[in-house]
Structures are given as C-alpha cells and as structure tokens.
Structure 1
Amino acid sequence: MGFAVEGRYVLAPVEPADAQKYVDLQLDCLAETYNELVDAGFGERQRAERDSWLKEFDQNITAPKVRAFFAYENPAWQPGAPLSCAMGGAVDWEQPVGFALSRPGPLEWERRIGLPLVPEGTRELTHLYTRACTHGTGLGAALFDAVLYEEEPAYLWYIKGNERAVQFYEHRGFTRDGRFVDCQGAWGDAVTGRMFRGVKPPA
C-alpha cells in the first residue's frame, strides 16, 4: 500500500494508471497556490489545459528513474497518538492530499527556451504540491524526502513571488541562480526561476 508519515499521512507510489487522479489534484493545488499570487483566473486557465497536463503526466511517469508519490490522510490519526500501522480500508485512496515527482533532466521544454541546461541526468524536482489545509503539518517535507534523497544534486523551478516555497527549498540546501523566464500562455504574467542544490548553475 505505502508507508506512514508519523501516523498522520500515508505515502503511496503514483502509477501510470493514476493520470486522472494526479491531474485533478494538481489542478486543485495550482489554483490554491497561484490564484492570489498570479491572478484570480489562473486556476480556470489551467483547468482549460487539462489535456496538456494529462499528456505531461504520461511523459513524466514513464521517464527513466522517475520517483512519484501521493499522500493520503489517515482518518484514524490523533495528535499525540502512537504511530498508526492501520493503513487499509480507512484511507480513502481516491482522495490524495499531496503529491511529488522527480525525474532526471533536463526536460524537453527546457531545451526549447534557450537557457543553459543542467548536466544530463541531474534530477529535477518536477512537482511538489499539497492541499492548503495540510500546510504546516510536515507533509511537504515528507514528500520532498520521498522523491529527493539527502544531499542528492538536484534543481527545480519556482514561480517568482512564491517566497514560502523559496524558503522551504533554501532550508533544504537550494539556492537561486537569479535568472527568470516569462511563463506565458495559461500561466499569464507569471515568471519562473531555477534553484539548485549540489550542482553548479549552468553558465
């Protein structure tokens, strides 16, 4: 099934058949995260691109050496209770509350935009999102550790202005390279930049 995170959550691998569930949660989290940061119509624009997100999921989940996990709430969890091993029927396996995915880069879209590329095979933290109601519970850290190993060289993209995310990653050894790219399309006026850990930013 998966493994427990201090009894409160259960992590389980994402499978290729999970495309619909993955993208539905992804779209919910994008709206929760960026509707205020980018603009109020951000989430709806992303939902209109659902087919593209499904295609991207297929590309990511079939990539060599991909690591991907869902997180689910354990309804039996109680603050201060001992670690629960009851992970079966009580968990709603159709309602994940977070997900993370990493894979070797660089990705195809990165090759197209013209920025210098990371060395071939450098692991990218492609996705890490949790529902807003779980923020501050340690779930993001658990998902991070599931898809990126300790001190593993890696990089990621973040949306400019998302300082909460930047601080989370800086605490885990990532630094910004200071260059930005306009996202365009359904991302509106959002601007994205890269962060790196254990690998020199490409010149």
Structure 2
Amino acid sequence: MGFVCNGRYVLDAVTEADANKYVDLQIRCLGETYSDITDAEFAARHRADKANLLEEFAENIAAPGARAWLAYEVPGWTPSGGLSCAVGASLEWENPVGLGLSRPGPLSWESYMPVTPVPEGTRELTQLYTLASTHGTGLGQAMFDALIYPDEDAYLWVIRGNERGVRFYEKNGFSLEGTFFECGGAWSPEPEIAATLPPEKIAHTGRMFRGITV
C-alpha cells in the first residue's frame, strides 16, 4: 500500500479476493469512458457480461509477473493538509476510484487478431481506468507509474476515438501502430443494431507501442 498525489489517494495491491470489487469498478469506468464514443447499449452489455469479465480478471491476476492496483480516495483530504490528511484515515475499502493491471503478453485473445504478435513477455498495460471524478488529479499517472516501469518496453490496446487516452499514452512514450480492428463480444452491438449506427459508433481497437517495433 502506498500514498500518491500528495496523500490524496492510496494504492493497494490487488488480490484474487478483490475480483468483484475490481470488475464492478471496471464496468462503471467502461461506461464513463466509452459511452459517448460507442452505441447507447454499450454500458448495459458490459454489465450483463460481468461473468466473462470475472473470468478475464482471474486469468490476468494469475499471470506470472502481473501487477495490479486499486486506488482509494482519502476522506477529508485537502490540498493544504497533504499527506497528513491520509495518515490514520479510514478508507472506504468497498469503493475504489481507480484500477489498473499490467502483465507479460501477448494475451490469449490476441492470437485471433490479424496482427504480428509482440515478442513473448512484452509488458502489456491491460487495464488502466479511473473514475471521471478523479480526472486531472494525477491519479492516472500515479497508477501508470506503478504498472509500467520507466524505460520498460510495453504495449497496449486503445479504442478508436478515445483521444484523451491516446494523448495520455503518447505523453508516456507510446506511439499508435495506426491500424484499427472491429471489437467483438460485449464491445460491439448485435449486427442488426450495428447496421443502423454510423461507423464511428462501432468500437474498434488498435495497438500502441513503447520501445518495441512489430
């Protein structure tokens, strides 16, 4: 456990016992992050897909070398109080405000993608989300730094249209590969609904790299 952002948040290592808490926050963050750039049923599909997200979490947290964190806001924190506000504070352990996981790749689902695989063992930033209420506080950067170490070769998948995310990762040394592919599963609507949507509302994903060329 460690304090970040001058004591405003606490990062705590994730364990298998945190599965439901982690995935519930993941679903909430997915809705906040992507609802404006995808179709109207995007958030509902992910809520209905919780069982699959729990299976994905179990696979990722069990991967050798996985790093995973949940972030909690310190009640009563003030800029003037700084770290002194955090010492001895009673955290709301059931209400995290950020999550992140990285692990060695490539992941199993990537074998189905029409791309050249990354070198075995390359660190993948699998998830990094914080609630919109924390944006601009530095929490996302603090979590990134705990997940991807300085000068560590790494890659990630980003959703087309998530310009805020792309800018953040570019600031941290990543570059877009430039090719995007239509997402599957809960990321995409049923074909009959997709046929009624403008192309930009269909979720597509592509890779970003730091330190490697594929």
TM-score bin (small chain):
over 0.9
Q: Is the 8 A contact 2:38 2:203 kept in 1?
A: yes
Match of 1:199 in 2: 212
Could you say what secondary structure the match of 2:96 adopts? Answer: coil
**1:137 positional shift:** 0.6
The total of aligned residue pairs comes to 200
Q: What is the alpha-carbon distance in structure 2 between the residues aligned to residue 50 and residue 150 of structure 1?
A: 33
In structure 2, the residue matched to 1:42 is 42
CA-CA distance at 1:89 after TM superposition: 5.3
Structure-2 residue corresponding to 1:176: 176
> What secondary structure does 2:57 align onto?
helix
**Structure 1: gaps (5+ residues):** none
Runs (4 or more) in structure 1 with deviation over 2 Å come to 84-89
The answer to whether the 8 Å contact 2:76/2:85 transfers is no
Structure-1 separation of matches of 2:129 and 2:104: 19
Q: CA RMSD in A?
A: 1.2
Structure-2 residue corresponding to 1:127: 127
What's the CA shift string for 1:11-46, capped at 9, x where partnerless?
Answer: 000001110000000000001111111122100011
Are the equivalent residues in 2 in contact too, given 1:29–1:131 (CA < 8 A)?
yes
Query: TM-score of the superposition, structure 2-length normalised?
Result: 0.90
Aligned sequence identity (%): 58
Alpha-carbon spacing, 1:88–1:82, altered in 2? closer, same or farther (3 Å) = closer
Structure 2 unaligned segments of length 5 or more: list them: 189-201
Question: C-alpha distance in 1, partners of 2:161/2:86?
Answer: 40
The residue type equivalent to 1:64 in the other structure is P
Letter in 2 for 1:115: V
Question: For the residues of structure 1 that align with 2:151 and 2:48, how far apart are their CA atoms?
Answer: 37
Equivalent position amino acid for 1:150 in 2: P
Taking structure 1 as the reference length, what is the TM-score of the superposition? 0.95
Equivalent residue number for residue 3 of structure 2? 4
Deviation at 1:121, TM superposition (A): 0.2
Conserved? CA contact 1:177–1:196, under 8 Å: yes
| Maintained 8 Å contact 1:76/1:90 | no
Q: Which residue of 1 aligns with 2:191?
A: none
Instruction: Tell me, yes or no, if the aligned pair for 1:74 and 1:87 is still in contact at 8 Å.
Output: no
